[in-house]
Each structure stands twice: as structure tokens, then as C-alpha cells.
């Protein structure tokens, strides 16, 4: 007996990225991560990066508004990035 299982779709085909777009988003994510980890202002922080349709989302914790601004600037300067969403939280130490 063969049973069929229907899984709900997470997104409609219109909102799912094409294979080309998904690869491009992955490359952008890698470039943003590389830029953040090599920049002296941001390399000591674990900043999470996600990209969908050339919109980069940054999340995590940083120590100051200056670091947050630097991270947003760095991400926005990566080739192909159209928008940067800021979900970074500032937690001052000391």
C-alpha cells in the first residue's frame, strides 16, 4: 500500500527564489560574512547574516551603536545588496 503525504508549502512559487536567485543570495551572504569577520570594528562579534532577494538581514548582539552602524555600512557596501534590515541588539558591557 502506497500512502501519499501532502506537505504544506512554506511559500508560494511567486515568493520562492529561483535557483539563480538563491545562489546569488548565498554568494551575497558569504561576502557580507567575510567582510564582517575581517573588519576590525565587527570581527569580534557573532553577527548572523541572512539574504533573501538581495535583502540582507543582520541579527545578533553588538557592544555599541558605533559597531551596529559599522556592520550596517559594511553590509550595504557589498556588491548586489539592495537593502539591509537591522535586527542587531546593542548590549553595553561594563
CA distances to 10, 39, 91 from 62, in Å: 31, 14, 6
Q: Side-chain half-sphere of 87: how many Cα atoms within 13 Å?
A: 12
Map out the domains of the chain as residue ranges.
19-90
For residue 67, pLDDT over 70 is answered with yes
pLDDT tens for 25-53 read 999 999 999 999 999 999 999 999 999 99
pLDDT tens-digit map of 70-91: 999 999 999 999 999 999 999 8
Adjacent-strand bridge partners of 9: none
Residue 3: what pLDDT? 55
Which residues contact residue 54 at a Cβ distance below 8 angstroms, ignoring those fewer than 6 apart? 24, 25, 28, 80, 81, 82, 83
CATH code that applies to domain 19-90: 3.30.1340.30
The answer to whether 54 and 80 are in contact (CB under 8 A) is yes
Amino acid at each position: 500500500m502506497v500512502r501519499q503525504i501532502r506537505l504544506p508549502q512554506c511559500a508560494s512559487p511567486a515568493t520562492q527564489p529561483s535557483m539563480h536567485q538563491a545562489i546569488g543570495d548565498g554568494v551575497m551572504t558569504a561576502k557580507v560574512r567575510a567582510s564582517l569577520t575581517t573588519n576590525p570594528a565587527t570581527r569580534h562579534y557573532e553577527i548572523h547574516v541572512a539574504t533573501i532577494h538581495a535583502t540582507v538581514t543582520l541579527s545578533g548582539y553588538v557592544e555599541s551603536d558605533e559597531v551596529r552602524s559599522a556592520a550596517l555600512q559594511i553590509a550595504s557596501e557589498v556588491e548586489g545588496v539592495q537593502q539591509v534590515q537591522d535586527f542587531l541588539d546593542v548590549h553595553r558591557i561594563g
